[in-house]
Amino acid sequence: MPFDALVAPPQPLSLADALADLGIVPISQQALAEHKQAQLVRFAPSFWYRHQPILPVALLGSVACMAVSGGLTQRMAQDGSAVSGWLTLAWMGIIAMLIAAGVFRVRAGSHWEERWVPAEWLRGLGVPEPIAALARETCRQVPGTAIILGELKQEHVVLDPYLLVERDGEQVCLGIWDGDAIIACAAR
């Protein structure tokens, strides 16, 4: 039909356009990427985590050095008692048990994880209220919007979260925080 184009449904707005209509200026993707990279550098793995194969060698080497120094001390003291030798042996045994038990732990590296969350969960997840309010409003006003919580994790500890909204593969950042301190928040 020749007039079908006149009654065609309007094309949906992009997420960025929908947020602009709501008066929300999101955090730029470049700012989020720079923040994420800076946090990965800040919470990098420790020297011993990166060089795990040499950790047991270094610990056992320190025990060997203690044994040698204890033996030399015992040898140099002509009239010394056997107590110093037994103390050295006991100390080496304690260190060996600690090594075997895995007491000497090292700090692992951090990594980013993202997950979808419902808008109702934001308060319980510790999202600051200004950022959570923007996310809830965006979900109400822009149909088909999902909320993504990104978290920097080191072992099992959450270090530095951020909040994204997504629709049709397009993502925008609404906020970055650390505990109660808001690092960046989308502007109104």
Q: pLDDT band for position 108 (50/70/90)?
A: confident
d(CA 154, CA 45): 9
d(CA 106, CA 95): 17
pLDDT at 105 over 70: no
Residue scoring higher pLDDT (56 or 104): 56
Please tell me the total number of residues recorded for the chain in this structure.
188
d(CA 184, CA 150): 14
pLDDT value, residue 31:
92
pLDDT by residue (tens digit) across 110-169?
A: 888 999 999 999 989 999 999 999 999 999 998 889 999 999 888 778 888 999 999 988
